[in-house]
Amino acid sequence: METDDGHEREAGAAPPTGLSRPARRLVALGAVAVALAATAHLVIMFLHVAPPNTVSKQHAATIGDYVLPEFEQNWKFFAPNPLQQNIAVQVRAQVTDPDGNVRITPWTDLSARDGAAILHNPLPSHTQQNQLRRAWDFYGSTHDDRGQATGMRGDLSEEYLRRFAVSRLNLDREGTRLHRVQLRSVTTNVAPPPWAAGQPAAKPVYRELDWWRVTPSDLGVVRSW
């Protein structure tokens, strides 16, 4: 038997048909579910970035649990005040080597480490992207320029940042004893493009924090990680 286009078809072969009725129902249900999920996502994101209102205040906990940390939104990248500085966080430590020699390690650029881990990674983890930045911002929002706590969460932010630095250094091993850590930030202005008229980028600005003594509980938390 020949088909309309001249090709032969085996005798008794059934002509091709569309999806069965159960399959069509399943596809329709899937499309409805995707549409509802997308609508709910857009509504929650809108409530998160919109000015505070009755609905967002009433459901603040639910919105926060959904948005943070994977869908965090802010306007720092956009006008009218886009970010114009790069802030790198560095750490060094005072340790005792297995031979009893006490020394201070060179500065370790934690931001550069995270940047290298993210580079060319199509799906970087949220930890690599934001944990260091959020820890430093948390400390800065609870302390003044002299390192004095300005609120009830000051001790908590200092403890979190100290334990974070200890975990990233990973020096308390193989007979080496870790005693103290010190952090600093290095702020550099983003250089203007070649075609823009303006002053060249200024020299880096350093902000060093005080030395923090590492406690046994800090090391216990690190080992549990």
- Do 56 and 145 reside in the same domain of the chain? no
Q: Show the tokens assigned to 169.
A: 């250094």
- Do 44 and 130 reside in the same domain of the chain? no
- Do 203 and 92 reside in the same domain of the chain? yes
User: What digits encode the pLDDT tens for the residues 58-107?
Assistant: 888 888 888 876 777 666 656 556 667 889 999 999 999 999 999 999 99
Q: How many domains does the chain have?
A: 2
User: What digits encode the pLDDT tens for the residues 139-189?
Assistant: 999 999 888 998 888 999 999 999 999 989 888 777 789 999 999 999 998
Q: How many CB atoms sit inside 10 A of residue 207's CB?
A: 14
Q: Please tell me the distance from the alpha carbon of residue 81 to that of residue 84, in angstroms, as a whole number.
A: 8
- Do 102 and 143 reside in the same domain of the chain? yes
Q: 107 near 91, Cβ under 8 Å? A: yes
Among 36, 67, 98, residue at a domain's last position: 67
Q: Is residue 15 domain-resident?
A: no
- pTM comes to 0.64
Q: What residue numbers bound the domain in which 27 lies?
A: 21-67
Strand partners, 90: 109, 184
- Do 47 and 102 reside in the same domain of the chain? no
Q: How far is CA 90 from CA 27, 93, 109, 114, 134, in A?
A: 53, 11, 4, 12, 14
Q: Show the tokens assigned to 21.
A: 């009725």
User: What digits encode the pLDDT tens for the residues 175-190?
Assistant: 789 999 999 999 998 8
